[in-house]
Each structure stands twice: as structure tokens, then as C-alpha cells.
């Protein structure tokens, strides 16, 4: 079963606009990771945010984490056509448990950026 | 340094056959996890190996098995293939120690069962 729910399921924007994707999860986590996937290929790691962090930046990416609401958001600023992909959040729910190596993924957001 | 390498990239098999997929992790990484991705179920965890030991297993039937070698390379095997096993199989590599280590994925093996 999927831990996370991602919202929206699909997002269509123009180049230069910002894209925001949201992720909710159910259990306590050690960290949350965001990934990008192009057309059924492998997952590209974007960013990891620890449970004691609230915000993290990497280039045009900004990730926030609210553990009280069990939610995270990914903001892509000044989007480009090359950002067109599916975006997934994945939680490492090892806190207090032994979920070695197991990431639990959301269903993903399909982002389309029109040139 | 080289990323995670999965072979083969594509496979077509017939129902009832078995298949073996391979994953070479990033150098220095000792943990390899396997995932199945389908349009209906999304990304689901199969199992994880660290230092040749299976530490965690998802909810898949016993037809799905794996192993890890001393050089951290891992294989997964699916026996008695069913049509529903058609999927993208992804492996992830990580250091495997500590609570906040990033997992890096390979390009996947696309398995089609006919």
C-alpha cells in the first residue's frame, strides 16, 4: 500500500511558471525524499529532507516539511520544458522500527511544462 | 563515480518461465533494495539486502527472491512468471548505515511477460 498521497495527480504549466506539488504521509518518518522519473525510466534523486528540518533548497528546488501535518511540498521555480516528468515523494519510516532500505512512495504527480 | 547499473534493460519472457535481474550498486554502497513499479500499484518495495543478508522484505509471494554477493552486487529472481509480473523493476543503492542516507536508483529493467 502507498504511504503517501500526492496532490495534484497532474499539473500542466507554461515555461517560466512555478510548479508546486504536495505529498502527505501517514506514519512517523526519519526523512522524506523527492524523486523525478522521465517516461518510465529510472528515478532521479532530487533532495532529502530530514524529519528535524523544515525547509531545504537545491538550485531551483525548494522542499518544505511539516511533520505535525505529515506533509511536504516540492516547489520548482522558473520551470523549463525539461522539467516535464513524474515526481514522487518517498518516506523512510524507520523511526522506531526496522524498515531497513524500505522507502514508501506516493502515487506521483505528472508535471507537464509547455514551451 | 558510476551510478547504479541494472541489466538487462528489457526482457520478454513467457508465462511459467523464470527470470534473473541484476543490479550493481554505487561503489561503496552496501545496501541494495528492489522495487516493482506498475501503473496500477505504483512503486512497491520487494526486499533489501545489506552485506549479503536480507534485512527487509515486502509483501510479495515467494516466487520473488533475491540475493547479494560479497561485492554488493544483487540479483533478483522471479520464478513461474505470471502476466501480472510485467513491470518495471528498479533497484536502489545506498550506504545502508545511519538513518538519513539517500537512495539512488538504476534505470530499471522492463519485464514483459507474454
pLDDT value at A7 more than 90:
no
pLDDT score for B54: 94
pLDDT band, residue B9 (cuts 50/70/90): very high
Torsion of CA B109, B56, B105, A6, to 10 degrees: 100
**Sign (positive/negative) of CA torsion B4, B8, B14, B17?**
negative
Q: What CA–CA distance (Å, rounded) separates B67 from B74?
A: 6
CA A59 from centre of chain: 15
pLDDT band, residue A1 (cuts 50/70/90): very low
Query: Taking every pair of C-alpha atoms in chain A, what is the biggest distance, in angstroms?
Result: 46
Contact by Cβ (8 Å): B46, B64: yes
Terminal CA-CA length for chain B: 37
Beta bridge partners of A113: A13
Q: Is B25 on the interface with A (CB under 8 A)?
A: no
Torsion of CA A89, B99, B57, A109, to 10 degrees: 0
pLDDT value at A94 more than 70:
no
Distances in Å between the alpha carbon of A61 and those of A64, B8, B21, B89? 10, 33, 34, 27
Mean pLDDT of the residues in chain A: 91
Q: What CA–CA distance (Å, rounded) separates A84 from B52?
A: 38
Question: Which of A33, A98, A103 shows the shortest C-beta gap to B45?
Answer: A103
Question: Which of B31, B94, B99 shows the shortest C-beta gap to A30?
Answer: B99
pLDDT score for A99: 64
Question: Which of A100, A104, A108 shows the shortest C-beta gap to B55?
Answer: A100
pLDDT score for A60: 97
Digit-coded pLDDT (tens) for B64-105: 999 999 999 999 999 999 999 999 999 999 987 776 788 999
Q: Is B5 on the interface with A (CB under 8 A)?
A: no
Cell numbers found for residue A70 = 505529515
Please confirm whether the linkage preceding B8 is cis (ω < 30° from 0): yes
pLDDT score for B97: 75
- How many angstroms separate the CA of residue A114 from the nearest CA in chain B? 24
Contact by Cβ (8 Å): B37, B96: no
Q: Is A3 on the interface with B (CB under 8 A)?
A: no
Digit-coded pLDDT (tens) for A30-61: 899 999 999 878 999 999 999 999 999 999 99
pLDDT score for B16: 98
Amino acid at each position: 500500500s502507498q504511504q503517501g498521497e500526492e496532490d495534484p495527480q497532474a499539473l500542466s504549466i507554461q515555461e517560466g511558471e512555478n510548479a508546486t506539488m504536495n505529498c502527505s504521509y501517514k506514519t512517523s518518518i526519519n526523512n522524506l525524499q523527492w524523486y523525478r522519473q522521465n517516461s518510465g525510466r529510472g528515478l532521479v534523486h532530487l533532495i532529502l529532507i530530514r524529519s528535524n528540518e523544515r525547509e531545504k533548497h537545491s538550485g531551483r528546488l525548494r522542499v518544505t516539511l511539516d511533520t505535525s501535518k505529515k506533509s511536504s511540498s516540492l516547489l520548482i521555480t522558473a520551470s523549463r520544458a525539461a522539467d516535464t516528468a513524474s515526481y514522487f515523494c518517498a518516506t523512510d519510516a524507520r523511526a522506531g522500527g526496522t524498515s531497513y532500505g524500505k522507502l514508501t512512495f506516493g502515487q506521483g504527480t505528472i508535471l507537464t511544462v509547455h514551451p | 563515480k558510476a551510478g547504479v547499473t541494472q541489466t538487462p534493460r528489457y526482457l520478454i519472457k513467457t508465462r511459467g518461465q523464470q527470470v534473473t535481474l541484476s543490479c550493481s550498486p554505487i561503489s561503496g554502497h552496501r545496501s541494495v533494495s528492489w522495487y516493482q513499479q506498475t501503473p496500477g500499484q505504483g512503486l512497491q518495495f520487494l526486499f533489501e539486502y545489506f552485506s549479503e543478508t536480507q534485512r527487509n522484505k515486502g509483501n510479495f509471494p515467494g516466487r520473488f527472491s533475491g540475493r547479494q554477493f560479497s561485492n554488493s552486487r544483487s540479483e533478483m529472481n522471479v520464478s513461474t512468471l505470471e502476466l501480472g509480473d510485467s513491470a518495471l523493476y528498479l533497484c536502489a543503492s545506498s550506504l545502508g548505515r545511519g538513518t538519513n542516507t539517500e537512495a539512488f536508483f538504476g534505470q530499471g529493467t522492463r519485464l514483459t511477460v507474454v
